[in-house]
Structure 1
Amino acid sequence: MSVILGIDIGGSGIKGAPVDTRTGKLMAERRRIPTPEGAAPDAIRAVVTELVQHFGLDGPVGVTFPGIVQRGHTLSAANVHPDWVGLNADALFTEATGHEVHLINDADAAGLAEARFGAGQGEDGTVLVLTFGTGIGSALIHRGTLIPNTELGHLWLRDKHAETWASDRARERDDLNWKQWSKRACTYLQHLELLFSPDLFIIGGGISKKAEKWQGHLKLDRSRVVPARLLNEAGIIGAAMMAAGTAPDLDAAPSETAPSEDAPKPAKARPARKAPARPRKA
């Protein structure tokens, strides 16, 4: 089965569409439902169920979540209800929808999609996808293998928390023009370049639609920087890839994963990490 339903849970909207996971193309018009206020598990469950029923597809469903996901459990809740912490969300959605549901971090899903079908297609090396929005999401991919739950938006740059200082929300909050914001973002990217030496940075999130305003200002010594290509479809596509088994099955233990021959090898899930309690020197 190659056409799989992908659902992307966002801060303002929950979006879904069937995806041909062989090509990364949406097979029907995307449907969007506003995210319920407070984003509590029961309310989100109802919206996910509505989207599943709307499209009426058989088979598994991929769902993104804006937080740490480890073996189907949600382990952080920065921008959603705290009841998500420690919840077996795979089981919650599977029981509600009657479909086998596979959960993945939202930035990880966007990263997988961009690496396979978007701006990172054909890149044989290390790709670091960053989504700038309410916070900063990250996906680290090496030769097709995802290192899950990197949460690099929570790094400290001397006395500054990265996503609080350099996200798109920070740009709006501090009334920065694009050149001013790009200076902050460049400082952050330079720090990541020092730590990870990626061949390619892919810049996603809401700002990817305005690449002409910032792309000329983001210059690094070694790494290339490009805007994301899949825009708001990336999370949906990556979620469907996860459910189809064309991405590392982060829900299962490594011995339970059986991807196709051309799929990337599974990555072991890492223990959840919390943002540091106090600033650390860069």
Structure 2
Amino acid sequence: MAILGIDIGGSGIKGAPVDLDQGGFAEERVRLETPQPSDVTAVVATVAEVAGRFSGVERVGVTFPGVVQNGVTRTAANVDHSWLGAPARDLFTEALGLPVVVLNDADAAGIAEMTYGAGKGRKGVTIMLTFGTGIGSAVFIDDRLVPNTELGHIQLHGRDAELHASAQAREVEDLGWKEWAKNVQDYLRELERLLNPDLMIIGGGVSKKAEKFLPHIDVRTPLVPAALLNDAGIVGAALAASQA
């Protein structure tokens, strides 16, 4: 049975069938630009286009950059506000003609890392963080997910933390990796103060450049890059779909 994972991001929509035995892609990933504006109709059409590139798919997991409760998207910080209150699961199911599970993007990435990657077998409190257009978060107690935590929106220096420490903030402010690492350090220390985690995993596109910034971050919590790098969201989405 082919299970497809699709990851909706602020800049790209990516998908691939997943080998759930290995925790990797069964076929080469397809990536399309996220439509602008990223309204419901346009994003659903793009997700359907990505899904249409693959044959033999029986189930689909779709990630969304915001809170998802019972298949309904409740927040939309980095996509069009037409997603507020949208029945995402029903919309994707109708467009794809397949059973669909929709979940928060960082939650999906965290599920993948806890199953196959840097969090596998870890006990205590683990926080998975994805740095991209915004900052996504997934919190686990042992291997149990606390869904929809949205820790990228905690207040840091009087504004959303992701405006200070996301990968997009690094580009907007034209920061070098070492400079940006100090912003990330500020953010991670605030998470330590609030949650006292046992492990923090850094994911998103920047995980491929971990050697450029992680050595410049000084926190007391063990800090590791995501083993699945930026593929974790797709893998976690497919895993969630397989378990639904």
Kindly indicate whether the alpha-carbon contact (under 8 Å) linking 1:9 and 1:106 is maintained by their aligned counterparts in 2: yes
Aligned residue number for residue 181 of structure 1: 180
Aligned: 1:93 with 2:98: no
**Distance in 2, Cα, partners of 1:164 & 1:231:** 22
Aligned residue in 2 for 1:257: none
Report what 1:226 is aligned to: 224
- The residue number in structure 2 matching 1:200 is 199
Contact 2:177 2:213 in 1 (8 A): yes
- Identify the range of structure 1 (171-180 vs 194-203) with the bigger mean alpha-carbon deviation: 171-180
Q: Partners of 2:158 and 2:83 in 1: how far apart?
A: 29
Between Structure 1 and Structure 2, how many residues are aligned? 244
* RMSD of equivalent CA atoms: 1.4
**Could you say which residue in structure 2 is the equivalent of 1:32?**
31
Instruction: Give the equivalent residue in structure 2 for 1:256.
Output: none
- Give CA deviations for 1:71-117 in whole Å, capped at 9, x if unaligned: 10001111212111101110001111110110011111111111111
Q: For 2:7, what is the secondary structure of its paired residue?
A: strand
Residue 63 of structure 2 aligns to a residue in which SS?
Answer: strand
Identical amino acids, percent of aligned pairs: 55
**What amino acid sits opposite 2:150 in the alignment?**
E
2:211 aligned with 1:217, yes or no? Answer: no
Distance 1:133 1:58 in 2: 28
Q: Distance in 2 between matches of 1:207 and 1:213?
A: 9
TM-score by length of 1: 0.83
Whether the 8 Å contact between 2:207 and 2:230 is mirrored in structure 1 is: no
Q: Distance in 2 between matches of 1:159 and 1:82?
A: 23
Amino acid at match of 1:237: V
1:83 alignment partner in structure 2: 82
The within-5 A match list for 1:41-60 is 41-60=40-59
- What are the superposed Cα offsets for residues 197-256 of structure 1, whole Å, 9 maximum, x if unpaired? 1111111112111111111111222x10011121221110010011000xxx5xxxxxxx
Aligned-pair distance for 1:158? 4.5
Q: Give the aligned partner of residue 190 of structure 2.
A: 191
The Cα of 1:45 is off from its aligned counterpart by 1.4
The unaligned stretches of length 5 or more in structure 1 are 250-282
Q: Which runs of 5 or more structure 2 residues have no equivalent in the other structure?
A: none
Conserved in 2, the CA contact under 8 Å of 1:208 and 1:228? Answer: yes
Structure 1 partner of 2:113: 114
For 2:159 and 2:52, the matched residues in 1 are separated by: 44
Please name the residue that 1:278 is paired with. none
TM-score (norm 2): 0.95
The verdict on how the C-alpha distance between 1:178 and 1:51 changes in structure 2, with shifts beyond 3 A counting, is: closer
Is the partner of 1:55 in helix, strand or coil?
coil
Paired AA for residue 4 in structure 2: L
